[in-house]
Amino acid sequence: MSAVTLDPAAAPPPPAFRRRSKLERTLSNAAFWRGLAGLLVFLLVWQAGGFLHTSLGIDVPFFSKLPAPTAVAAAASEVVVQSGYWMSWIESIKRVMIGFLIAQLIGIPFGLFLAVNKYFRDIFFPPFEILRPIPPLAWVPAALIFWPTNEMSIIFVTFLGAFFTIVINVLGGARTIDVRYLRAAQSMGATQWHLFSRIILPGTLPSIFTGAAVGMGITWNVVLAAEMVSGGGSQSGGGLGFFIWSSYMGGSMEHIIVGMISIGIAGYLSSALIRLLGERVMPWRRAF
Amino acid sequence: MQTQLNNPAGAPASKGAISIRNVTKVYDPDGAQVMAVDNCSMEIAPGEVCMIVGPSGCGKTTLLNAIAGFHSITGGEILLDGVPLCGAKKPLADQGSDRIVVFQNGALFPWKTLAENVAYGPMVQGRWPKAECIERARSALNEAGLGAVADKYPGEVSSGMARRAEIVRALINEPKVLLLDEPYRAMDALTKQIMHEALLEMYDRTKVTIYFITHDLEEAIFLGDRVYVMTTRPCRVKKVIDINLPRPRDYHTLTSEAFRLLVQEADEAVHEEAIKAFQAGEREMA
């Protein structure tokens, strides 16, 4: 009777590879250099477009009114030393985070309840589905009237932006957990609570993180627009959206672009954060 | 470390007799009555390896689902050690850790390591403290030759290892019956052979009753004490073949004359049903 054994002592020792550092691996990766080249070409074309207009008088559509990357960089170097600019960052991040976290706190349990309880789903899903297609920004006027402060209104629409996406992802994720996992757990004697905490919850985690990543993107969209709409009034709310809006009012194209790029960076950083968190919470996903 | 998978060598199994008596299952989707199982009876002795062979979609899995408590039956009764699981009064059996299913495509929880997967049953049943569950899971995996991958996630090991770990996960609950639903279906022939030997080895240690569904006749004869050849839909017992090949068996058994004769004996019945199933499938398509 020969059973297959995996005795590590019996196996020959694995060949010793030197594990390269992350930087080393990045630098030797052709894709990294292609990406860098793409970025450079993009900046070069942008710069050339402006050059054609200012130096040769050739009018290139769109580029003529666009400040060159060098001009934007110059504006940025002035802006980054001003505390007002960083206050805009903090304001926007604060709003995004509060709205986003409340959306998670309410959205995840709500989605899970919808998934596991038929009666709950029958009652709450129809109104949810009617409210879901309404764009978050359509809520802005009503929110401004409804909430006592601008701040609360902005956070409310930010919350809405993430909430629906999160719920729909959690619901979908929990409902599509393979029935074999549930059956296997049940036949091994899992109680309802064990089914929920050990099977449904971890089984839904990938969808929770998908919802969070998409929701985070929407939250940035919404917060910016809400800041432009509501923060530009007398009781200035600040934030990156307001930064862009006031740059527009002041007629500074360079600053508008600095604001836009700031938002790009902020969005990228928040997605990276969620990705990182996801890898930590779901170690089994690293295998793929 | 004492493990719970070991029975004293050669001790007769004293549990896990399944009686399937005149079981009928009629599905009723949209009023169109479809008979999946028609008046099926089997007596499976404790510790018997019972192999169910039949064409795809013939209703073999329906019977397994009825034993496991996943689906109800519409007629007859099923008993485990003389105690009714399901019958006229109670069409759906309770699910329980005395009958554990190993699924066709594997159902290890992807979010748990192999050791955590194996420890799951004892843990939710509160059999031992958590640390001891993991400890015992580890030694059970060790015994099955999976000690080196105990801390890997199912996504990180081969399908063969995963399937073996799943059987370990089932056996640690000391079930009376192991229900296997074409567990090696998608495997290549070489892996399959290794899986068969591993299963036989585990069987020789535990003498658990095995209800094994397959459409691979040679697999059935190699592993089984008895092979039930089923008819195509509705599912009935067509032929019962007792397999008297001596145990323990290994791959040499596959080339023996006795094995060849058994395959020959069963093949005609299986082939006949396969043709019927194929033609029925064609009719459904047309």
Domain assignment of residue A1, yes or no: no
pLDDT at residue A188 tops 90:
no
Q: Which residues of B touch A284 (CB under 8 A)?
A: 110-112, 153-155
pLDDT at B173: 87
Higher pLDDT, A5 or A101: A101
Contacts of B182 (CB under 8 A, 6+ apart): B104, B213, B214, B215
Do A277 and A262 belong together in one domain?
A: yes
Q: How far is A103 from chain B (nearest CA, A)?
A: 25
User: Full-prediction pTM beyond 0.80?
Assistant: no
The SS3 call for residue B71 is coil
Taking an 8 Å cut-off on Cβ atoms, the answer to whether B103 and A184 are in contact is yes
Nearest to B115 by CA among B143, B147, B144, B145: B147
pLDDT at residue A97 tops 90:
yes
Residue in A closest to B253 by C-alpha: A1
Higher pLDDT, B255 or B59: B255
Which CATH number is A258's domain given?
Answer: 1.10.3720.10
Domain assignment of residue A7, yes or no: no
Do A148 and A206 belong together in one domain?
A: yes
Do A96 and A164 belong together in one domain?
A: yes
Q: Which residues of A touch B99 (CB under 8 A)?
A: 187
Overall average pLDDT of the B39-50 stretch? 88
User: Which residues in B143-169 are b (16+ Cβ under 10 Å) and which e?
Assistant: bbbbbbbbebbbebbebbbbbbbbbbb
Domain assignment of residue A14, yes or no: no
Higher pLDDT, A27 or B210: B210
Taking an 8 Å cut-off on Cβ atoms, the answer to whether B250 and A1 are in contact is yes
Domain assignment of residue A17, yes or no: no
pLDDT at A236: 54
Are B124 and A198 in contact by the 8 Å Cβ rule? The answer is yes
Domain assignment of residue A189, yes or no: yes
pLDDT at residue B13 tops 50:
no
Taking an 8 Å cut-off on Cβ atoms, the answer to whether A181 and B107 are in contact is yes
Do A73 and A61 belong together in one domain?
A: no
pLDDT tier for residue A87 given thresholds of 50, 70 and 90 = confident
Q: How far is B2 from chain A (nearest CA, A)?
A: 20
Domain assignment of residue A162, yes or no: yes
Do A46 and A137 belong together in one domain?
A: no
Domain assignment of residue A44, yes or no: yes
Taking an 8 Å cut-off on Cβ atoms, the answer to whether A284 and B153 are in contact is yes
Overall average pLDDT of the B173-192 stretch? 85
Q: Where a domain ends, among A42, A66, A90?
A: A66
Helices A150-175 and A118-131, packing angle to 10 deg: 130
A195–B contact, CB cutoff 8 A: no
Give, in order, the Cα–Cα distances in Å from A220 to each of A111, A158, A256, A270, B142: 22, 8, 17, 9, 51
Higher pLDDT, A87 or B28: A87
Q: Where a domain ends, among A66, A84, A110?
A: A66
Domain assignment of residue A15, yes or no: no
Taking an 8 Å cut-off on Cβ atoms, the answer to whether B250 and A183 are in contact is no
Taking an 8 Å cut-off on Cβ atoms, the answer to whether B111 and A6 are in contact is no
pLDDT at A231: 58
Taking an 8 Å cut-off on Cβ atoms, the answer to whether B198 and A183 are in contact is no
pLDDT at residue A9 tops 70:
no
pLDDT at residue B205 tops 90:
no
Are A103 and A159 in contact by the 8 Å Cβ rule? The answer is yes
Q: Which residues of A touch B144 (CB under 8 A)?
A: 3
β-bridge mates for residue B51, sequence order? B212, B227
Domains and CATH numbers, chain B: 18-98+177-285 (3.40.50.300), 110-174 (no CATH)
Q: Of chain A residues 7-66, which have a CB less than 8 A from chain B?
A: 7-8
Do A45 and A91 belong together in one domain?
A: no
Q: Which residues of B touch A206 (CB under 8 A)?
A: none
pLDDT at residue A209 tops 60:
yes
Residue in A closest to B151 by C-alpha: A284
pLDDT at residue A287 tops 60:
no
pLDDT tier for residue A12 given thresholds of 50, 70 and 90 = low
Do A245 and A120 belong together in one domain?
A: yes
Taking an 8 Å cut-off on Cβ atoms, the answer to whether B153 and A1 are in contact is no
Do A229 and A110 belong together in one domain?
A: yes
Q: Which residues of A touch B155 (CB under 8 A)?
A: 284, 287-288
Are B145 and B198 in contact by the 8 Å Cβ rule? The answer is yes
Do A136 and A214 belong together in one domain?
A: yes
pLDDT at residue A263 tops 50:
yes
Average pLDDT, chain B: 82
Handedness of CA A212, A215, A220, A226 (dihedral sign): negative
pLDDT at residue B164 tops 70:
yes
Token readout for B39 is 């008046």
pLDDT at B3: 44
Identify the residue among B105, B124, B130 best suited for mutation to test binding to A, counting A beta carbons within 10 A and taking the highest.
Answer: B124
pLDDT at residue A284 tops 50:
yes
In this complex, the residue of B103, B145, B173 whose CB is nearest that of residue A188 is B173
Q: Which residues of B touch A4 (CB under 8 A)?
A: 145, 194, 197-198
Do A220 and A122 belong together in one domain?
A: yes
Overall average pLDDT of the A231-244 stretch? 68
Taking an 8 Å cut-off on Cβ atoms, the answer to whether B201 and A4 are in contact is no
Domain count for chain A: 2
Tens digits of residue pLDDT in B93-145? 888 788 888 887 788 999 999 999 999 988 888 888 888 889 989 998 888 88
β-bridge mates for residue B34, sequence order? B27
Report the alpha-carbon distance of residue A117 to residue A111 in Å, rounded.
Answer: 10
Do A43 and A122 belong together in one domain?
A: no
pLDDT tier for residue A241 given thresholds of 50, 70 and 90 = confident
Do A169 and A275 belong together in one domain?
A: yes
pLDDT at B283: 60
Give, in order, the Cα–Cα distances in Å from A29 to each of A37, B33, B64, B264: 13, 62, 52, 59
**Residue A10 exposed, middle or buried by CB count within 10 Å (0-12, 13-18, 19+):** exposed
Domain that includes residue A57, residue range? 31-66
